[in-house]
């Protein structure tokens, strides 16, 4: 079955508001305080659980999953081909950046990892220009791909996810569809599960640079040891995101995990939590635990199903 067909089938599956796992007390829906969340089966794309899954949200840097998917579709067999980036990589230094400079020569593989590891807005913009010729043309490509994937409540207006007044929007269910599609690609899976990536020296930089994954389920920086509590042994990816400003605090996370042959993808959108515990977890810190709660719920339900209990709460 094609990816598009699988996603179309998945969209028609009724959402499971409760499961045997919940009945056993392993999952408390009230713990999911973010605006919207969706959990899907990573092998079939079918929805397991959802909260406000079709509510309009701003996907922030999880937008880069679509940008990366298009890069892999267009250049998947030429990732080590070089491209020279231009002025599109000029961003305010407060942005999340890979560290590109105008006229720098990099590979498409560098751009892929630069988007998905440190969440480089410059890498996303460079990818857009390299593939589309200009940003606007690439955005057309993004929206055409979204249509093909059945993302009927989505409109992309930027390749990186920076807040643009609300024109770049989607839903948790729609972002689950593009995540599912991207995870069918082996190179994408290898990228998003990596803790770090060594970006080799270039014509503009004389030394190698190590890029680190912003996904706290996978990687804890040495300078942020308090975040070790968020590490999850079954995590396999995918992408973080956050916007602030006119849209308010909006923490986002698309995460994946695998256990005992089962793959899961969780989408968390609109985490507005701020840490008041004194542990310095920072802003939008609940999304990590919410993803783990969803994974544990999904894996527990799967275990009961294998034992013949069935999904008694499915409607």
User: What pLDDT, on the 0 to 100 scale, is given for residue 18?
Assistant: 35
At residue 302 the predicted structure's pLDDT band, cuts being 50, 70 and 90, is low
pLDDT, averaged across the chain: 89
Report long-range pairs for 26-33 (Cβ below 8 Å, ≥24 apart). Answer: 26/296, 26/297, 26/300, 27/293, 27/296, 27/297, 27/300, 28/293, 31/289, 31/290, 31/293, 32/268, 32/290, 32/293, 32/294, 33/271, 33/273, 33/286, 33/290
Burial of 99 (0-12, 13-18, 19+ CB in 10 A): middle
Catalytic residue among 119, 157, 256, 258: 119
User: What pLDDT, on the 0 to 100 scale, is given for residue 165?
Assistant: 86
Q: pLDDT tens across 122-155, in order?
A: 999 999 999 999 999 999 999 999 999 999 999 9
User: What pLDDT, on the 0 to 100 scale, is given for residue 308?
Assistant: 39
CA distances from 59 to 15, 77, 110, 210, 276 (A): 21, 28, 23, 26, 25
Catalytic residue among 34, 51, 64, 170: 64
For 135, half-sphere exposure in the C-beta direction (CA atoms, 13 angstrom radius) is 17
At residue 277 the predicted structure's pLDDT band, cuts being 50, 70 and 90, is confident
User: What pLDDT, on the 0 to 100 scale, is given for residue 102?
Assistant: 98
**Residue 164 or residue 271, greater confidence:** 271
User: What pLDDT, on the 0 to 100 scale, is given for residue 44?
Assistant: 96
Q: pLDDT tens across 59-110, in order?
A: 999 999 999 999 999 999 999 999 999 999 999 888 899 999 999 999 999 9
Catalytic residue among 34, 46, 61, 256: 61
Q: Of all residues in the chain, what percent carry a pLDDT higher than 90?
A: 80
Secondary-structure class of domain 3-306 per CATH: alpha beta
Mean per-residue pLDDT for 232-258?
94
User: What pLDDT, on the 0 to 100 scale, is given for residue 16?
Assistant: 36
User: What pLDDT, on the 0 to 100 scale, is given for residue 59?
Assistant: 97
In the structure encoding, which two tokens stand for residue 122, read together?
A: 């410059």
Cα–Cα distance for residue pair 129/138, rounded to 1 Å: 7
DSSP 263: E
Mean per-residue pLDDT for 155-172?
95
User: What pLDDT, on the 0 to 100 scale, is given for residue 28?
Assistant: 83
Cα–Cα distance for residue pair 71/73, rounded to 1 Å: 5
Check if 61 is active-site. yes
pTM of this prediction?
Answer: 0.89
Check if 64 is active-site. yes
Check if 283 is active-site. no
Answer yes or no: is pLDDT of 17 > 90: no
- Domain residue ranges of the chain, discontinuous segments joined by +: 3-306
Q: Of all residues in the chain, what percent carry a pLDDT higher than 70?
A: 87
Answer yes or no: is pLDDT of 5 > 80: no
- DSSP assignment of 142-182, as one string? HHHHHHHTT-TT-B---SS----SS-SBB-HHHHHHHHHHH
Angle among Cα 296, 298, 301 to the nearest 5 degrees reads: 105
Cα–Cα distance for residue pair 119/219, rounded to 1 Å: 14
Burial of 64 (0-12, 13-18, 19+ CB in 10 A): buried
């Amino acid at each position: 079955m094609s990816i598009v067909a699988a996603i179309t089938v998945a969209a028609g599956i009724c959402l499971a508001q409760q499961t045997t796992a919940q009945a056993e007390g392993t999952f408390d829906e009230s713990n999911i305080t973010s605006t919207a969340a969706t959990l899907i089966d990573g092998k079939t794309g079918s929805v397991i659980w959802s909260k406000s899954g079709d509510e309009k949200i701003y996907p922030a840097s999880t937008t880069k999953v679509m940008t990366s998917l298009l890069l892999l579709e267009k250049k998947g067999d030429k990732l080590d081909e070089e491209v020279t980036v231009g002025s599109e990589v000029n961003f305010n230094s407060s942005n999340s950046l890979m560290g590109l400079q105008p006229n720098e020569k990099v590979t498409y593989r560098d751009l892929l990892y630069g988007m998905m590891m440190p969440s480089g807005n410059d890498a996303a913009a460079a990818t857009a220009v390299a593939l589309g010729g200009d940003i606007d043309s690439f955005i057309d490509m993004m929206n055409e791909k979204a249509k093909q994937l059945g993302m009927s409540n989505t409109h992309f207006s930027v390749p990186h996810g920076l807040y643009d007044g609300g024109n770049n929007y989607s839903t948790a269910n729609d972002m689950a569809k593009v995540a599912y599609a991207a995870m069918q690609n082996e190179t994408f899976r290898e990228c998003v599960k990596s803790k770090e990536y060594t970006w080799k020296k270039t014509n503009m930089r004389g030394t190698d640079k190590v890029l680190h994954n912003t996904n706290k389920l996978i990687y804890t920086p040495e300078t942020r040891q308090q975040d070790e509590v968020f590490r999850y042994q079954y995590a396999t990816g995918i992408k973080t995101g956050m916007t602030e400003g006119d849209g308010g605090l909006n923490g986002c996370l698309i995460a994946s995990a695998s256990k005992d042959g089962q793959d899961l993808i969780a989408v968390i959108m609109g985490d507005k939590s701020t840490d008041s515990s004194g542990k310095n977890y920072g802003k939008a810190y609940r999304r990590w635990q919410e993803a783990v709660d969803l994974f544990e719920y999904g894996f527990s339900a799967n275990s009961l199903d294998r034992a013949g209990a069935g999904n008694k709460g499915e409607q």
